[in-house]
Each structure stands twice: as C-alpha cells, then as structure tokens.
Structure 1
Amino acid sequence: MTTSTPVNTPFTSESTALEVVRGIDLAGRRAVVTGGASGIGVETARALAAAGADVTLAVRNPEAGQRAAAEITGSTGNDRVLVAPLDLADLASVATFVSTWDGPLHILVNNAGIMASPEMRTPQGWEMQFATNHLGHFALTTGLHRSLAAAGGARVVSVSSAAHLRSPVVFEDIHFERRPYDPWLAYGQSKTANVLFAVDATRRWADDGILVNALMPGAIRTNLQRYVSDEDLARMRAQSGGGAAQWKTPERGAATSVLVATSPLLNGVGGRYFEDCQEAGPNQPGTRTGYAPYARDPEAAGRLWQVSEETLRAA
C-alpha cells in the first residue's frame, strides 16, 4: 500500500545528488539508468555508484557510455559501473536489453529522452518523442517487471518535466496524424505520459513491492535541448522567473531523481510527482510548478496503460 501523507524532505532546489544520497548504503543493489552517459543521467549514476550500487548505464552510444563509466569509477572508486546498449525508439533494442538482464533489479531510472524535436517518426509511424520518452520506457519497465519484483522493494523513477503542463495525452490523436505537429505539445504529452505511468504502475504493482514515482528535475542545460533554439531557452528562462539562478547544474538537476530512487523518506510512496526534492502539489494557475490534475488522473493512467500495451502488441 502507498501512504497518502505528503513527503517533506530536508533537501531543496540547491541540493546535489551526492548530498541526497549521503549516508545511504546501496551495496548489493543493482541499478539501471537510461541515458546515463550525459547530463543528469551521468550525475544520477554517479550518486548511485558513490553509494555502492552496481550501476548499468543503458545508452544509445556505448562508446560515450564507456567514457562516462570510466569517469564515474574514477570519481567514486566503484568499479561496478557497466554499460549496455539501449535505443528506446527501437523495440528490438529494448527487447535485447530485457532478455539479457539476469536477476533482480532494485532501481530503474527512466531518464533518457528527447525534447521538442522536429517531426520524426519511428518505422511503425509513431511520433518520436512519445515513442522514445514513453513507449520505449514502458516496454523496458514492463519487460523488466519480473526482475523488479524479485528485488523486493524496487523503485522506478520516471523523469518527467514541468512541460507536462503543456498538454495532456491526446488519446484521439497521440501521434499527430490528424493535427498539425507541434514539438512542444508532443514533448508535453510525452511527459504527461511519464507521470501517468507512475500512477498506474504503482497501482498494478503494489503487491510486488514496486513503487514508481515521477519528477521534474528542473531546468538544466544539457544535450536534451539540442533541438531547442536560444530564443526558446530565453523564453523558458523568463517563464521560470528570470535569471540564470533559475537554472540548475546537472548535479542539482539529478538530486530529485536520486531522492526518488533511494531516500528512505519515500518508503511506501508511489504514484506521486516530485520537484526540487519535495513532493509537489497541484499546479496553481499562472505558475509552472506542481502537477496538472490530468497527469495524475487514475482513469487516464489506466487508459494509457491499455493503449500502450495495444500499441506495442501491434508493432
């Protein structure tokens, strides 16, 4: 069962991932971080490794992954940092990763993603942001369900974004087949899906001891924004309240992911949305914080799960 008491922590928007994990012993625990070769992914992996976990970087570019793994080992002294190829937009790649994973999995951080890309489609015709950010992670996580259940108390981290406030999941036209493509609406829809996944996965898997939470890492300048113009970045900065102080370093950006993955303060907590190392409440009009009610709607979450299963079966 999941508790209904809001989670408060001693950490803030200024906290780093290493600060959040300090004093937590992850020895003997196994973790996977998708997109673990750069940005907040590598800092998430570094913090988990620093706490003693065996960490697998699941990455599209294994060479970049090997460089990141060596750097993490050098900075933490933990040589149990592995690399495995994973392309979330390629179902065969996801299936290969799942089939080669053996044994329990204690922490899965669904971190990889693309943002506001030009219109692109998978070979199945799926819109690329939804396919990568949601469907690929859905296939990965459901494929690893048995390993997560075997861990006893596994945690899944679903990295969302305040951009989910831009759009619900538009079930009538998820893949922009009948409406004009908009890169930010597509991104927002995919990030709403990340929150809805946490809601329904927690409901479905509570008896397996698997807890899934979503989070907003904050605004961090990383490779994620490779499709975002300087003008868009300036507008995002203005919306977040102004100056460069509103932007986080990757070390701070990874803090909420690490909190959700490791903190004992979240024992028994699932299906929630976190930002700045705190559980967030509902979005208030005129702000860019908190969650949209549609992103935690149990009915929408169940519908998305069903649609996702049907989509993958038809591939």
Structure 2
Amino acid sequence: MAKWTADDLPDMTGRTVLVTGAGGGLGLITARELARAGARVVLGVRNPDKAAEAIIGMAGTFEVRHLDVADLGSVRQFAETWTGDLDIVVNNAGVMDVPLTRTPQGFDVQTATNYFGPFVLTNLLLPRIGDRVVSVTSQLHRQGRIDLDDLAWRSRKYHRMKAYYDSKLAIVLFSLELQRRLTASGSSVRSVLAHPGIASTSLAAHSPSGFINRLGFLINTPERGALPILYAATQDVPGNAYVGPDGPGSIRGYPKVRKPSSAGLDETTARNLWRATAALTGVGTEVAR
C-alpha cells in the first residue's frame, strides 16, 4: 500500500493557514509544504526576522507576523489584529525540557508555550476558523498527569520533563473538549491532533542529555516528522483524530490515524481542565462558533 507523503497534498489554493512556531523545524517544513500546495501561509513566530530569512527562496505566498504563544498578551494582540478569514490553525509552537522560567502572566514557560498559549489563541480565533484546528502533541503525553490545582507549577516542585509530559497531555485533552463543544454547537469545524513520533529537530536542544537527537536511524527525519501534521491539516479525518507515524510505537514512519492514551480520552478530566484553564486565562468560557 502506498505511503502518504507531501507529494499527495491537495490543491490548497485560496486557503489561509496559520502555523505557529514556524521559524524552523517541523513548523517551517509544514509552512513550506502548505505554501507549495497553494495555501497562503501565515507564520506566527517569536522572531520574525529569523522566519523571514528562513522562507527566502521558498515557493508560495507567506506572511510573517510576531506571535509569542508563551505570552498571553502577545497572543491577545495577535488575535485582535487578525483580519479576514482563516481556514486552518496549526498549533505547532513548542518547547521541551526547559528550566523554570515565568511568563508575564506567571505561568511556567513550558506549559504556557505548549498548552495555555494554544488554548487562548484557538479560542480567540475560533469565530474566524472555517475548517480545522490542528494541535501538535507528543507520544510522551502518555506519561503525563494533570494536576488541576497547579497547572502552572506554582506549588509543586518544578520538573522539566514532567512539565513537558503534562503539557502535551493537556493539549490532547484540549482537543477532545474542543471537539465536543464544536459538535454540541453544530459547528463543522474539526479539532485534530498530530504528533511527529520522535523527530530529529531542535525541540530537545535544551535537554541536558540531548539523547533524542542521538537515536539516529530509530527516529524520523524532520521532513518525515512533519507528515502527520500535514496529513492532519489537509486530509478528511474525523474530529479529534490522532495522527502519527505508522511504525512500531508510532516512533517513525508515515501518517496514520491512531489513538491517544486512555488519559487523553478522559472526557471528565477534559471538561475540568477546560474550566480550570478558562479560570486562569479568562478565555474559553464559550465556543463562539
């Protein structure tokens, strides 16, 4: 059976896609391929100059805008200044295994980047989104645990990797609850999940061991790692689909719809997490569409 690749992307002419964290790595590859297929791609990035340099020579229509998803002030400003329609949002921006640093809102930067920022951005842009929201997670969400009383690591002793696991479980639960709310409201917009398996990108650059990028042939190349994101963004998959590599353990391979952990499918936790996040951020009390 033929394996799906970026060559199988549909014609995206007339479509507008926002990709966060698109200044490099999987986000840049995702943006490049969607633009090559005809989409107008907006790169929401912390460093616009770096992103503008990265897309030089790439085919397609791009727009670079400043967006720091860890800073909810930046997220709000970005959403408030958005004009026109928006077909697809790819919540790709992420950090992994970073030291404890606080955002202007007092959240730890890892949870803010990987979860709070995407939550707020998606909710604020939702009235404009016409097709779907793709949230990028990780197989490591299977090791996560949600502490509803301390989502931002204020009372617990901060643990770099546990914060990553938890944030990636949180984004899985966010997708589940978003899809439930969209369905209940009669919306045709879909909330979809994607993960790259283990891909050799700069995501783990802050890790003290750097073990991920030393796994060699066992992991996906960045080009291959972007395929599940592209598949989730463009193919006719059901709401709350979980797209990842088709190989053993979903570590590497080509896109396939799989299943998240049982914790990621817990509807009660998903509802409670949404409420707790809305209380912390002041966003998400309603699905506008």
Q: Secondary structure at the match of 1:196?
A: helix
Correspondence for 1:62 among 37, 42, 48: 48
TM-aligned CA deviation for residue 49 of structure 1: 0.6
Once residues 154 and 269 of structure 2 are traced to their aligned partners in structure 1, the CA distance between those partners, rounded to angstroms, is: 21
Q: Decide which of 215, 223, 228 is 1:256's aligned counterpart.
A: 228
Aligned partners of 1:105 and 1:200: how far apart in 2?
Answer: 21
Structure 1 contact 200–271 (Cα < 8 Å) conserved: no
In structure 1, runs of 5+ residues without a counterpart are 1-8, 238-242, 282-290
Q: What is the SS of the residue equivalent to 1:208? A: coil
Cα displacement (A) at 1:71:
3.5
Q: Call closer, same or farther: CA 1:115–1:231 in 2, change over 3 Å.
A: closer
Contact 1:20 1:259 in 2 (8 A): no
Task: State how far apart, in whole Å, the 2-side matches of 1:71 and 1:111 are.
Answer: 23
CA contact (8 A) 2:138 2:195 kept: yes
- The secondary structure found in structure 2 opposite 1:82 is strand
Other-structure match for 2:251: none
In the other structure, the counterpart of 2:113 is 132
Q: 1:274 aligns with which of 220, 234, 243?
A: 243
Partners of 1:201 and 1:71 lie apart in 2 by: 37
TM-score scaled by length of structure 2: 0.89
Tell whether 2:208 aligns with 1:220.
no
Out of 181, 187, 212, the position equivalent to 1:233 is: 212
Per the TM alignment, residue 102 of structure 1 is displaced from its structure 2 partner at its CA by: 1.1
Instruction: Give the aligned partner of residue 78 of structure 2.
Output: 97
The 2-side partners of 1:145 and 1:301 are apart by 19
| Aligned sequence identity (%) | 36
CA contact (8 A) 1:69 1:83 kept: no
Q: Deviations over 1:201-239 (max 9, x none)?
A: 1111132211011122121222211211335437xx6xx
> In 1, distance between residues paired with 2:27 and 2:75?
18
Name 1:45's counterpart in structure 2: 31
Match of residue 294 from structure 1: 263
2:216 maps to 244
2:125 is matched with which residue?
144
For structure 2, the 5+ residue unaligned runs are: 246-254, 284-289
TM-score (norm 1): 0.82
Aligned equivalents of 1:137, 1:161: Cα separation in 2: 15
**Structure 1 residue aligned with 2:248:** none
* Rounded Cα–Cα distance in structure 1 between residues aligned with 2:64 and 2:104: 26
- CA deviation digits over 1:185-216, x for unaligned, max 9? 10000000111111111111132211011122
Using a 3 Å threshold, how does the CA distance of structure 1 residues 98 and 245 change in structure 2: closer, same or farther? same
- The one-letter code sitting in structure 2 at the alignment partner of 1:193 is A
- Name the structure 1 match of 2:252: none
| Inter-partner Cα distance in structure 1 for 2:199 and 2:2 | 22
Measure the CA separation in 2 of the matches of 1:133 and 1:220.
17
Q: Deviations over 1:25-56 (max 9, x none)?
A: 11100000001110010110111111100000
Relative CO higher for 1 or 2, CA cutoff 8 Å, sep ≥ 6?
1
Residue type at the aligned position of 2:235: S
Q: Choose which of 282, 286, 289 in structure 2 pairs with 1:313.
A: 282
- The DSSP-based 3-state class of the residue aligned with 2:135 is strand
Q: Kindly state the Cα deviation for residue 10 of structure 1 after the two structures are TM-superposed.
A: 4.9
Query: Comparing both structures, which one devotes a greater share of its residues to helix?
Result: 1
Deviation at 1:122, TM superposition (A): 1.5
Q: Secondary structure at the match of 2:149?
A: helix
Q: 2:65 aligns with which of 84, 87, 93?
A: 84
How much does 1:178 deviate? 2.8
- The aligned counterpart of 2:136 is 159
> How far 1:168 moved relative to its partner?
2.1
